[in-house]
Amino acid sequence: MSFANEPLLELRRAWVRDGLEDALRALDAELPLHVPVLIDGATRDAPDLASTDPGAPERVVAAATRATPTEVDDAVRAASAAQAAWAARRAAARAAVLVRAAGLLRERRARLAALAVRECAKPWAEADADVCEAIDFLTYYAADAVRLERGEELVQLPGERNELRYRPRGVVAVVAPWNFPFAIALGMTAAALATGNAVVLKPAEQSPGCAFELVRALHEAGVPAGALALLPGEGDVGAALVAHAGVHVIAFTGSSAVGQQILRVAADVRPGQRHLKHVVAEMGGKNCVLVDADADLDDAVPAVAYSAFGFAGQKCSACSRVLVHEAIAAPFAERLRGLLDTLVVDQATRFGVDVPPLIERSAQERIADALAQAAAVGATVARGAAGPDEGWFAAPAIVTDVAADAPLLSTELFGPVVTVEPVPDLQAALARVEALPFGLTGGIFSRNPARVRELTWKLPVGNVYVNRHITGATVARQPFGGTRLSGGGPKAGGPGYLHHFVESVVVSENTTRHGLVV
């Protein structure tokens, strides 16, 4: 298909970097941003929830207002009321609104990237890519929804007319994570809106500021006030929203534990509820990179390091295990270890940083605990630079000699930690991947096309990357989504994703009258 991704900023040009630094200064002067509860065009701004700069926790980035249980109910009711009119517009009209929103985001790119740098400590390149991906989701789903509106071809026989159409499901609850504060929140929201649903968005408590910018742009572009509500808050707000009888679809990206809880809650039919809830859940992973004996270490070592440590490993696609053929395990480990010492661990605002601070204190503690536990049972932990004193930094780490049953090999850590295990061959590596409960991303480094082909069929993951890093899926190029406990299979940014936001209706009409076909 013809689709052009939003171009990334060319950070290798000094004047591009200067522009971003200007945008950051301008943003800083505005902080904290106020993020109200926003329902049907009405706002309530009574800050009681702050997002802070992970690199300078004293700095409040957004002063948000927690939604109350009553507001959750109000938001769903308002969305229900507004949905029919939004759905009644043709897909092309809704698409035009989304494309207009994409234009607004494009105009505000530098400011938005700066906001992700501040609120989530995304390094500039990653922050910019996040904004670009958000724009991509808008334009991609807008176009795909227009195509979907045409329905599907059915078999036609004389005397009847058969039609398959899609219609929106109703109210979509979007429960979004902080690690891609623009792209993921907007991806789920845009898919729902493009197909004619109304949306109630519950952003992560760590990134309400980014979410509010998205919601503002969508409203400015013409999304009706009632068709999109913003409910800042913590887990209780999300829980109330998910449980609400008026919600038809729950689009969730986040941890496996929360995703499974949502699936359980969504299965309950509440009083007054006359539909089954559909859940689109994108959850965690324990992603492995397999390095064959013939791999080019010049490529494999930096790609593994980037996949494991980029954005401090806080991507669901990040690499957390390397399974390396024993024939090259020693040089691989030595070079990766050496690279660990070169990683720039510093504030996200610094250009060229590799490992920014983690999102919050509890993440820092989680990583420290996991590493201490592993070390206590005999694992060897090598650490890179510790980073500045201020901010939730965790030194990037490589862990070796890990016992086969250690939790470190099977639970998602979401931090800059990677384990390295030698394997006798890639068949053995495959068996270890198969034993995992997850199936999100996976990587293969091999120069043998026969082996690559075989492994790409057998690896039980949703996205397989060959001879490259395993993060950074791009809309329309690498539609993204996992298998097993990582997700239900839909591919965000790819064909078929919108099907989760619609239901199909088949109309079959008798076209005969008095025995004649009319």
Which amino acids are annotated catalytic?
282, 316
Report the residue from 14, 88, 155, 157 that binds another protein according to the rule CB under 8 A: 14
With CB under 8 A as the contact rule, which of the stretches 37-45, 236-244, 442-450, 478-486 interacts with another protein? 442-450
Quote the least distance from Cβ 351 to another protein, whole Å: 4
The first and second tokens of residue 78, run together, are 């308002």
Q: Binding of another protein at residue 45 (CB under 8 A)?
A: no
Binding flag, residue 89, another protein (CB under 8 A): no
239 vs 175: CA distance, rounded Å: 9
Confirm or reject binding of residue 10 to another protein (CB under 8 A).
Answer: yes
Q: How many residues does the chain have?
A: 518
The smaller minimum CB distance to another protein, of residues 342 and 373, is found at 342
The secondary structure of 392-432 as a DSSP string is -----EEEES--TT-GGGTS---SSEEEEEEESSHHHHHHH
Separation between Cα atoms, residue 249 and residue 169, nearest integer Å = 7
Q: Calculate the CA 455 to chain-centre distance.
A: 26
Q: Does 5 bind another protein (CB under 8 A)?
A: yes
Q: In the bound complex, what is the minimum distance in angstroms from residue 46's beta carbon to another protein?
A: 37
- Residue 467 binds to another protein (criterion: CB under 8 A): no
Specify the residue, 69 or 338, whose C-beta has the smaller distance to another protein: 338
Residues 6+ apart with CB under 8 A from 101: 138, 217, 218, 220, 221, 223
Minimum CB separation of residue 421 from another protein in Å reads 20
- Say how far apart CA 286 and CA 440 lie, in whole Å: 7
Question: What six digits make up the tokens of 462?
Answer: 């949703």
How far apart CA 384 and CA 394 sit, in angstroms, is: 9
Cis peptide, bond prior to residue 7, ω within 30 of zero: no
Measure the CA–CA gap between 449 and 280, rounded to whole angstroms: 35
H or E segment to which residue 175 belongs:
strand 171-175
Instruction: Say whether residue 108 binds another protein (CB under 8 A).
Output: no
Which residues touch 89 (CB under 8 Å, ≥6 apart)? 196
Least Å distance between CB 60 and another protein?
A: 27
Interface of this chain with another protein, residues 288 to 327, rule: CB under 8 A: 293-298, 301-302, 305, 327
Q: Does residue 450 belong to the site contacting another protein (CB under 8 A)?
A: yes
In angstroms, the Cα distances linking 35 to 130, 216, 221, 372, 488 are 20, 10, 19, 38, 32
Q: Out of 1, 2, 7, 70, which residue is the one contacting another protein (CB under 8 A)?
A: 7
d(CA 60, CA 50): 6
Q: Which is nearer to another protein, 5 or 483 (CB)?
A: 5
If 0-12 CB within 10 Å is exposed, 13-18 middle and 19+ buried, where does residue 371 land?
buried
- Select 226 or 416, whichever has its Cβ closest to another protein: 416
Judge whether 446 and 348 are in contact, CB under 8 Å.
no
Report d(CA 324, CA 339) in Å as an integer.
17
Given candidates 158, 271, 272, 449, which one binds another protein under the rule CB under 8 A? Answer: 449
124 binds another protein (CB under 8 A): yes
Closer CB to another protein, 95 or 343, in the complex: 343
Binding to another protein by CB under 8 A, coded x per residue (else -) over 348-367, reads --xxxx--------------
**Residue selected from 27, 76, 110, 367 as contacting another protein according to rule CB under 8 A:** 110
Q: Would you count residue 58 as binding another protein (CB under 8 A)?
A: no
Among 19, 224, 388, 495, binds another protein (CB under 8 A): 19
Q: In the complex with another protein, which residue's Cβ is closer, 116 or 295?
A: 295
Q: Which of 338, 378, 424, 496 binds another protein (CB under 8 A)?
A: 338
Residue pointed to by tokens 């494009």 = 106
* Min dist. Cβ of residue 344 to another protein (A): 6
Please count the residues of this chain forming the interface with another protein, following the rule CB under 8 A.
Answer: 44
Considering only 342, 504, 511, 512, the residue that binds another protein (CB under 8 A) is 342
Across-strand partners of 487? 282
The answer to whether 128 and 8 have CB atoms below 8 angstroms apart is yes
Evaluate the CA torsion angle 219, 224, 227, 230 in order and state its sign: positive
Stretch that binds another protein, among 5-13, 26-34, 179-187, 483-491 (CB under 8 A): 5-13
Contact flags string 211-250 toward another protein, x per CB under 8 A: ----------------------------------------
Q: Whole-number minimum distance, CB 21 to another protein, in Å? A: 12
Least distance (Å) between residue 500 CB and another protein: 28
Residues that bind another protein in the complex, under the rule CB under 8 A = 4-12, 14-17, 19, 109-110, 124-125, 293-298, 301-302, 305, 327, 335, 337-339, 341-342, 344, 350-353, 447-451
